[in-house]
A and B are shown apart, each in its own frame.
Chain A
Amino acid sequence: MLLGISPDTPKAQKKFQDAFSLPFTLLADADKKVAEAFGVMKQKNMYGKKVWGVARTTFIIGPDGKIEHIFEKVKPEGHAEEVLAYLKDSAKGAA
């Protein structure tokens, strides 16, 4: 199950999803509560101003609800492959 989560509104998520025909669920975390709960808020620089925003982070959550793996400082490029490789690896390990 793949879930994307960002502080965008559901409407913006819908737009984003339609624009790129993304085949997965996008969750709206407008008040960043979940991002905070997972501790992915980071301070960033924007034009010299410091702002707090969501850091790209991927969590692999196992069937038992426990976090299996964390990808921090995710770069959008190539990340899908990285996650996929991880999942395949762990599936192999389990088998």
Chain B
Amino acid sequence: MFDFPSTVMAGFESSGLAGVPEAGGAESAEAEEDAELPLLKRGGSSSPEPPPDFDELAGGALEEGVADVELPAAGAEPDLAGVVFAALVSCVRRGGPLSSAVIPTGALSAFIEGLGSSDPVGCHAPVAIQGASLFRALLCRALFTVNNPNELPVCSASYTVPGSKDIGTGSALYALASQNFPLIKIAIGTSDIFFPSLLICNTAMARGPASFFLGAFLSPTGICGRSSCAAANGMTKRKTSAIAQQATVARCKLFNDAGCRSERGAPGLAVFARPGNPNCVHARFISSGEIPMQVNDKAPDFTLQDENGKQVSLKDFRGKIVVLYFYPKANTPG
């Protein structure tokens, strides 16, 4: 008879050959492998319960007293991951009947990517979001639907600086965002600034700052901005269908490392942030003028100085055809 190393044997056991569902050796071996995913056990099929999928994960985490979850204060350490995880999941789960119905198509790749990487910690936003890739996977997968401010107390600070005096604290943003905006479609883009790994989530639905957990969010109708914890690169113009009418979503501006930058995009709420600077989170409403123009839109009026210092307004030329030619500043590319 072969003398199986105990771990191998345990592996058999846990995969159903030996019929012993809980094998200590397998647990420890897997624990190592899954160090990044403490909640995701890859137990064999014969375990008393089927291996948890993300829905169950989410549900389990949710049921365990999420209501009492406290958000980590500024400077939270990654070991608060579980707590924040629960908070995030709760948001997802509170989202109403559609919560698990739609799976953004980018989820799988993002998850795989997330498994293989560990992110730098140092963003001022809650660390756990960046520090634990599993969260990202869940975020990608999740459909955030939040319909009123009361639904989102536990995690609403997750996209801003805890303790910030700016308007960017979670509840404030949420209150703003939830006032008038229709359901928005958020897109979480890729980042090459803060994360070494690629995160691609396609879209999720959100109303209010649930969408601000992570990454940029875009809206055909309401909101364009970016959370304090992630930047989105490559958020190119894309057609969004669903919900609102077909609309082209504007590209979100990347953060500039030199400081806070404004966002440009659909009218709505913008979140500005700068990595590493906890005081630099702001929110403001973008005026409706700042959306990319389309044919038949009314041209926004403006008044500028001409080359002689004379004030010229677009409305001066009402009744005439105006050819307005934008060109780059001298000595710049383009």
A residues contacting B by CB (< 8 A) are: 1-8, 10, 12-14, 16-17, 25-29, 33-46, 50-70, 74, 76, 83, 87
Query: B327's contact among A6, A34, A50, A60, by CB below 8 Å, is which?
Result: A6
Is B5 positioned at the interface, with any CB of A under 8 Å from its CB? no
Residue contact A56 to B307, C-beta cutoff 8 Å? no
Chain A nearest Cβ from B296, distance in angstroms: 6
Residue contact A59 to B293, C-beta cutoff 8 Å? yes
Residue contact B320 to A38, C-beta cutoff 8 Å? no
Expressed in whole angstroms, the Cα–Cα distance for A8 and B289 within the complex equals: 22
Question: For A53, what are the chain B residues with a Cβ–Cβ distance below 8 Å?
Answer: 328-329, 332-334
Chain B nearest Cβ from A59, distance in angstroms: 4
Residue contact B323 to A3, C-beta cutoff 8 Å? yes
Expressed in whole angstroms, the Cα–Cα distance for A34 and B320 within the complex equals: 20
Is B2 positioned at the interface, with any CB of A under 8 Å from its CB? no
Residue contact B321 to A1, C-beta cutoff 8 Å? yes
B residues contacting A by CB (< 8 A) are: 250-251, 253-254, 264, 289-302, 304-309, 312, 314-315, 317-330, 332-334
Expressed in whole angstroms, the Cα–Cα distance for A35 and B327 within the complex equals: 9
Expressed in whole angstroms, the Cα–Cα distance for A44 and B334 within the complex equals: 7
Chain A nearest Cβ from B272, distance in angstroms: 14
14 A-B pairs within 8 Å (CB atoms) are namely A2-B323, A5-B327, A14-B308, A25-B306, A26-B307, A27-B305, A28-B306, A45-B333, A46-B333, A53-B333, A59-B323, A60-B322, A63-B318, A63-B320
Question: For A61, what are the chain B residues with a Cβ–Cβ distance below 8 Å?
Answer: 299, 314, 317, 321-324
Residue contact B304 to A37, C-beta cutoff 8 Å? no
In the A-B complex, the 7 residue pairs with the smallest Cβ-Cβ separation, listed nearest first, are A39-B292, A13-B307, A27-B304, A14-B307, A61-B322, A7-B329, A59-B324
A1-B328 contact, Cβ under 8 Å, with A10-B305, A10-B309? no
Chain A nearest Cβ from B71, distance in angstroms: 33
Residue contact A55 to B334, C-beta cutoff 8 Å? yes
Residue contact B289 to A37, C-beta cutoff 8 Å? yes
Chain B nearest Cβ from A33, distance in angstroms: 7
Query: B306's contact among A10, A51, A74, by CB below 8 Å, is which?
Result: A10
Residue contact B333 to A16, C-beta cutoff 8 Å? no
Expressed in whole angstroms, the Cα–Cα distance for A33 and B101 within the complex equals: 42
Residue contact A60 to B307, C-beta cutoff 8 Å? no
Question: For B289, what are the chain A residues with a Cβ–Cβ distance below 8 Å?
Answer: 37
Question: For A10, what are the chain B residues with a Cβ–Cβ distance below 8 Å?
Answer: 305-309
Residue contact B307 to A5, C-beta cutoff 8 Å? no
Expressed in whole angstroms, the Cα–Cα distance for A60 and B167 within the complex equals: 39
Residue contact A3 to B322, C-beta cutoff 8 Å? yes
Expressed in whole angstroms, the Cα–Cα distance for A72 and B251 within the complex equals: 15
Question: For A64, what are the chain B residues with a Cβ–Cβ distance below 8 Å?
Answer: 318
Question: For B250, what are the chain A residues with a Cβ–Cβ distance below 8 Å?
Answer: 39
Query: A36's contact among B290, B308, B324, B333, by CB below 8 Å, is which?
Result: B290
Query: B321's contact among A35, A52, A87, by CB below 8 Å, is which?
Result: A87
12 further contact pairs, Cβ within 8 A, besides A1-B320, A1-B322, A27-B304:
A3-B323, A4-B327, A5-B304, A26-B306, A55-B326, A56-B327, A58-B323, A59-B299, A60-B323, A61-B321, A67-B299, A83-B323
